[in-house]
Structure 1
Amino acid sequence: MHLLFATSIVPDGALASGYEIANAAIIEALRRAGARVTVIGFSWPGKPAVDPENTIVLGAIDVRTESASPLQKLAWVGKAMRMGLTFASVKLRVVSAADVHAAIEHAGPFDGYVLNSVQFAGAFESVLGDRPSIFVAHNVEHRSAEENAAAAGSVLQRCLFRREARLLEVIEKRLCRAARFVFTLAEEDRAALGVASDDRSAVLPLVTRAEAPANKGPRRVDCDAALIGTWTWQPNRIGLDWFLTKVAPHLKADFRIRIAGNMPSGVTSTHPGIQFVGRVPDAQAFARGGAVVPLISTAGSGVQLKTIETFELGLPSVATSRSLRGIGYRPQNCVVTDDPVAFASALEAAAADVRDVDGSAFHRRQARALDAAIRLGLEKLGAIRREVAA
C-alpha cells in the first residue's frame, strides 16, 4: 500500500517540537506496518527534507506567527478573510491547489492519503478528496481555538480566535466524515470529534524515539526543576502563564527553575530562582539536568509529547491532569495535582528526594499499542480500497 502523508511541514530530522516528534513516530509506525509512505508538504527555509527520495517539497516557508512582521500578519489575516480559510491554513496558500494536484499526480500512483492535522488538509481540501483517506487529529483544534479566545489579551485576538474556532469545527467535522478512519492522540478526542466508534477511530499512543532511551546511569542535577517547550504555541503559553503566576509564587525563593525553548515577548517572572535560557542544543540532556520536571498543561487537546518523553526517561515529575491526557499509564514518581499550592509543594518534595525509575517498560508498552492501532487503521483503509476496486 502506497500512502501520501500530507502535512504542513515535512520532516527535516531536527525533531524540534512535539508536533515534529509525533509526525516522525507516526510515519515510522506506518512503515513498520508495511506501507510505503511518501510525504508531501513544505519545508522550513534552509532545512531540507530528511528523506528527499520519499518527500515532495512544495516550497520553503516560515509559518511562525511570532517571527512574522506586522505587515505579514496583516496580509495573512486579510487573505484568510478573503478566501474563507483559517489563519493556519492560509499561510500554506503560497502555491495553488492546481500546483498541489499536479505534484501529486506526477509522483503517484497512491492508494490513499494520510491527512496529518487540519492545516494542510484545510488549505488544499479540494485536491485531497479523490482517494480514500485517514485523518490524523493531533488535537481537537476548534476546542483549542476556543480556549485561546478565552485567554486572549485583546478584543481583536479574541475575535480572530473565535473565527478560527468556528471554521475549524466545520472543517474537522468534514474531514472526519470523509475519512475512512480517524486517528486521535487522546481517548477523549474521539468523542469530541464525533468518531468514538471503534469502526471509525483509534487512539495512537506515541513514543518520542524508535528505541527506548538507554539507561545512562546516575545523572548530574543542575537545577531543581527543568521546563522545556514551544511556548509560542498558545496552549503551551497558557500553561506557562499558569505556572509563572499561580505556582511560582508558592515556591521557596532558592528553588532553581530553568525554562528552555522559544519564548514569546512579554513573559517574565518575579521569582528569583527562575531563569529563561532560550533554545538548548539537547532537549533530553536539559531535562535530565532538572531534579524534577513540571508538566504544566492547562489547555489544549491531543497528547503532551513532553509528558511521554519524561516518562520514557524515567524522570520524576509533577503533572496537571491535562498533562496526562492520552496516556493510560502513570509511573510511581509522577505526582498529579491541579492545585497550584499543592503543585509547588510536590515540586519541592520531589527535588529534595530525587527518585528516577526505569522508563523502558513505558516505552515498550506505548510502541506496541502504537503499532496495533496503525495496523487497525490500515486494515480499515485496505478493506475499503478493495471494496471500491471490486
Structure 2
Amino acid sequence: MQILQLCKKFPYPLKDGESIAVTYMAKALHQLGHQVTLLAMNTTKHPVAVNRIRAKLPHYKSVHYTKLDNEVKPLHAFLNLFSSDSYNISRFDNEGFRKKLTSILKKNHFDIVQLESLYLAPYIDIIRGNTDAKIVLRAHNVEHEIWERMSANEPVALRRWYFDYSARKLRKYEIEQLGRVDQLLPISDLDKRKFKKLGYRGSSLAVPIGLDLDAVPFQSVKSNSPLSVSFIGSLDWMPNVEGLNWFLDQVWPHLNVIFPKLKLHIAGRNCPDWLMQLELKNVVVEGEVEDSRKFLNYHA
C-alpha cells in the first residue's frame, strides 16, 4: 500500500515519545512491504535540519516538510477566548502545510493517509477533496484529558479556569473529529475504551509504541551495580513537567527512604532553569541527551 503519514512535528531525532512512536510505526509499515511518504511540520519549537538527517530515514519513500511557527502567543491565546475554536488545534492549522499537502495528494496515489494525532484533523477536508484514500487517526493521547488533568491539579485559580475552558473546547472538537475518520489507532486498549465512551463507533485497533530491540544493546546488570531509575521526555511540554513534579513530590521521598542509594536521572530537551538548578538528594538532571536509547540502557 501507499501510505501518507502526516506529523505535527518532524519525527527525528528520537528524543521523545511521539517521535519514537511515529518512527517505529513507519519502520514497521516499511518492513511489511508498504511505501510510506512523510509530510511533517518543521516547527520553531522543535526545529530540525532536515537535509542533514535524510540519510537516517531510509524507511520513507520520500520526505516533505513545511516550516511552522507554533510558539504560544499570549495575544492569540487571549483572543481565542472569544472564539469557539480550540487554540491548541489552531496553532497547527497552517496555510503552507495545506498547499504542500494538496500538491502531494494531486501528484500521488495513496491508499491511506495517516494523521499522527488529533492536531492534523484540520486537514481532513483537504484530504477528502483530493483523494479517495482512507483516513486513519493515530491517537497518541485522549487529548482533552491532558488539559482536564492540568486543570484539576492547577493551584492558581485563573490558570485553572483557562485550562478547564481549553479542555472543554478541545473535548468538543475531539468528539466531532472521531466521526470523520475511517479508522482509529489508539495507543492503548484503555484509550480505545475511552474513545468508545466518547461515541466512536468505527473500526479501531490499539497499537502500542513499537521498539526496535536490536537497536538497544543488551546490558547485563551486576548485583553490585548502583540502583537507578530514569525519566526522559520533552521538558517544555506541560503534562511531562506536571508528571515529573508529582513524582518528585509524592514518590521520590518514599523511595529515598526505602532505597537510600537509588539515583534518579532526568533527561529531556528544553530543560527549564529551575529544574537544572534542582538540588535534591540523588537526583541528577542531565538535560538534553544525544541518544535516548543509551540513556535508558544505563539508567533504566
Cα displacement (A) at 1:257: 2.6
8 Å CA contact 1:100–1:127 kept in 2: the answer is: no
Contact 1:10-1:39 within 8 A present in 2 as well: no
Find the residue that maps to 1:54 and give its secondary structure: strand
Question: Offset of 1:153 from its aligned partner?
Answer: 4.2
2:41 aligned partner: 42
Counterpart position of 1:142: 144
Select 2:244's aligned residue among 235, 240, 247. Answer: 240
The CA deviation at 1:120 is 2.0
1:257 aligns with 2:256: no
Q: Secondary structure at the match of 1:194?
A: helix
Whether 2:204 is the aligned partner of 1:205: answer no
8 Å Cα contact 1:42-1:60 kept in structure 2 = yes
Give how far 1:184 is off. 0.7
Residues 62 and 199 of structure 1, relative CA distance in 2, 3 Å threshold? closer
> What secondary structure sits across from 1:21 in the alignment?
helix
Question: What corresponds to 2:189 in structure 1?
Answer: 187
| Gaps in structure 1 of 5+ consecutive residues | 294-390
Alpha-carbon offset, residue 185 of structure 1 = 0.9
How far is the alpha carbon of 1:239 from its aligned partner?
Answer: 2.1
CA contact (8 A) 1:3 1:114 kept: yes
Which amino acid letter does the alignment assign opposite residue 102 of structure 1?
T
1:60 aligns with 2:67: yes
Q: 1:118 to 1:248 in 2, by over 3 A?
A: same
Residue number among 269, 283, 292 corresponding to 1:283 in the alignment: 292
**Does structure 2 retain, via aligned residues, the 8 Å contact 1:76–1:90?**
no
**Counterpart in 2 of 1:116?**
116
Alignment of 1:1-390 (within 5 A): 1-12=1-12, 14-44=13-43, 45-48=47-50, 50=54, 51=57, 54-57=62-65, 59-61=66-68, 63=70, 68=71, 73-78=73-78, 80-81=80-81, 84-95=84-95, 99-100=99-100, 102-121=102-121, 123-130=122-129, 131=132, 132-194=134-196, 200-209=203-212, 211=214, 213-217=216-220, 221=225, 224-250=228-254, 251-252=256-257, 255-262=262-269, 263-267=271-275, 271-290=280-299, 293=300
Give me the TM-score of the superposition, normalised by structure 2: 0.79
User: Please, which runs of 5 or more residues in structure 2 have no aligned partner?
Assistant: none
CA shift at 1:96, angstroms? 5.5
Deviation at 1:97, TM superposition (A): 7.1
**TM-score scaled to structure 1, two decimals?**
0.62
Q: RMSD over aligned Cα, in angstroms?
A: 3.1
**1:270: Cα distance to partner?**
5.5
Measure how far apart 1:179 and its partner are. Answer: 1.7
